Each structure stands twice: as C-alpha cells, then as structure tokens.
Amino acid sequence: MAQSIVGYVRDAVSPAAAYKLAPRQFHPDSIFLNLNESPYPLSPKAQQVLNTFSQGNRYPEFTQGALRTAISNYIGFAPERIAVGAGLDDVFSILVTLFIEPGKDVVISDPTFGMYATFFALHGANVINVPLGPAPDFALNVDGIISAVNENTAMVIVCNPNNPTGTLFSLEDIERIVESVPCPVGIDEAYAEFSPLDHLELARTYGNAIVLRTLSKFAGLAGYRVGYGIFPEDLVPYVSAATPAFANVSGISAAIGIASLDDLDYLIANRDEQVSERERVTALLNEMPGVSAYPSATNFVLFKLPGDDATPVLKALNDRHIYVRHYPAPDLNLNDHLRVSIGLPDENTAFFNALEEILADRGTA
C-alpha cells in the first residue's frame, strides 16, 4: 500500500464534523421538499439564455461586472460594493479570507444554518453559540450576542429570516447588535424576498454591516450557484483582493443570473404563489391534532410532531418518495420537528395528504 499522507491533514478538518445532508433517491414520483429550493423552472428569459449560450469555451468576465451591475440595479447599491460567488457559501469564503484567523471567535445562534458552525470551525475559528430561545418564539438573545463579543471576536453571523426555524427577528434587534459591536456583522438574508423586511438600510447606514444574499431561492438558481454580498464601501479594495479570479461564477451562471433579474415579473409572481402556499401549508398543519407549525417568513415551514422523535414519520414520507428535513442533533432540541420546503401547490397537497395518512396509521391523528 502507498504511504498515507493523512497525518498531514489539518486538525480542524474532521470527517465527523462535515456538514451532512441525507441522500435523495430520485424516483419518477419524487417530491423534494427538503432543501428549500424553488419548485419553478428558470424564467423565460433565463431559459432562452440557457438554450442559446455558446461561450463555454471562454473564461467568464474577470470582474463579473455585468452580473454585479444587474444585482446593483436590483438592490440599489453601487456595483463596487457587491461581491459575487458560486453560491452564498462561496461568498462566506470571502468573509473567511477577510476576517478569520485560527483561534478567532465567530458568534452564531443555534438552531440556525448548520453550515456556519462547520464552515468556520474548518477554517480554525472558535464558534461561540448564543442559542435562540425555546419554541415557538425562537427569540434572538440580543444581549447575549453583544456580551459574547470581545477583542477576540472576528465576526457575528445572524440569519434573518432564520433557517431552519423560519423566524423573523425584528429589524430593531438586528440594528441593536450592529450598532453595539465593533466587529463585522454578517446578516444572512437568503430568504429576504419571502420576508416583509430586509436589511439593506443597515448596509447603507453602518460600516460594519455586511448583507448576504443568494439567487438560489427567489430566482430558482440553486443548481447554477449565484450568491452575493453587500460590503461596506471602505472594505471594497480588500474584498476585491479576497475574491477569487472570475469570482468562481461560471459564464453560464452569470448569464442566467443576469437574465433572471431581467425577468422580475415572473420571479415575483412565483414568489407570491409560494408565500400564499406557505400560509396554506401552515394552516393545514396546525389543523392536524398534535401538530404545531410555526410562523415563517421564508419558503419553508418548521413544525412539531406528536411524540419525541420525528424519525419514523420522516422514513414513512421517504418511503412515499416525499423528502423533508429532520434535525436530530440533540443540542438543537428539534428531534420531534420536521421542516418542509414549499413546493408547487399539488406537491404541497400530496405532502399534507401523506403526512395525514402516516399520522393516522400511527394513531396520532
């Protein structure tokens, strides 16, 4: 056997700590409601770009200026303040390059997007958890977050609306954090378009607020990987230095992103249907005996099931080729919960009917 080089791997890179997702079994009848994807196809203009794109043999634009300009026109910030990446997780890599040194602290609030803890720990940060309050409110501990920040803190990350709870924290709470700490505050608003508020004004007002967004959800580009961040103006030269060549965004992804943002009427109509369906799904779940669905400002709904373990219900749904998300980690206190993404109306109805049958068979409905 050849000599192993495993011993050279950094201690922070632990296979056990990797961010994990359950595999999906593709079947003709599969309904995927577990990854908060858009259920809609590309917009007509984006589909036209996909059908006719012929520049795959050429490198994309070095600065991704056209994509950044399209995003600038959408959100009202100068293109220079916008950094793009291959999905929002790639923009987090820019944050790491800018701010994270081994041993520095990153403050998060679980339960939240699971990538934060694994990603920042992988790069040598100490992840400091200031937990949310208990269900159903999942309140943000603003004072706890502020108190957790010290001279060793590299960054605070707040997800709002929050994943996986769907909770919308008040703008006043987020602003109090931003104005009370000296370090960067990354505000992950991947679900902003499904929410009644955004944090763009904070990015205009405060020099330590960084707003993070994606085209995966609202624009349905999860498979094309286009994320972006809005950075403080005085950080622009450093962001440029920390951004990989071509911003890691492929030519086809950039072109599709630009075309999608030129097709806003289509995207907004889809968003409005999803919001309507979100409210319908929430109401139907809350009508089921023993089930509690929490208010959501996203494209998914977190709900509590009867009993103390949602695993059997998850398996029964999977057996019907319906895939939702489960959070069994003991420290999250969500083992009796499932999260369902909002799909097309008939997919949502199929999910609800299946869940109703499963709970009836188990004698809990």
Strand-strand pairing, 209-214 and 105-108:
unpaired
Report domain extents, the chain: 24-41+265-361, 44-261
Q: Taking residues 13-40, report their average pLDDT.
A: 79
Helix (H, G, I), strand (E, B) or coil at 318: helix
Q: Taking residues 335-346, report their average pLDDT.
A: 97
Q: Taking residues 108-112, report their average pLDDT.
A: 97
Q: Are 57 and 185 in contact (CB under 8 A)?
A: no
Reported CATH class of domain 44-261: alpha beta
**Alpha helical stretches, state H, 181-229:** 200-205
Q: Are 305 and 288 in contact (CB under 8 A)?
A: no
* Kind and range of the H or E run holding 293: strand 292-293
Is 24-41+265-361 CATH 3.90.1150.10?
A: yes
Residue 76 half-sphere exposure toward CB, CA atoms < 13 A: 6
Q: For 1-5, 41-45, 319-323, 325-329, which range has the lowest pLDDT when averaged over its residues? A: 1-5
pLDDT of residue 18: 65
Rounded Cα–Cα distance for residues 113 and 338 (Å)? 15
CB under 8 Å to 55, separation ≥6 — which residues?
251, 255
For residue 262 the two structure tokens come to: 């030129």
Predicted confidence (pLDDT) per residue in 111-151, tens digit: 999 999 999 999 999 999 999 999 999 999 999 999 999 99
The amino acid sitting at 82 is I
pLDDT of residue 19: 65
Annotate 235-260 with DSSP letters as a single string.
Answer: GHHHHHHHSPGGGG--HHHHHHHHHH
CA 208 vs. chain centroid, Å, equals 21
Identify the band that residue 109 occupies on the pLDDT scale cut at 50, 70 and 90: very high
Which residue bears the tokens 């081994």? 102
- Other CB atoms closer than 10 Å to residue 277's CB: what's the count? 20
Choose among 254, 325, 292: nearest CA to 37.
325
Rounded Cα–Cα distance for residues 13 and 81 (Å)? 32
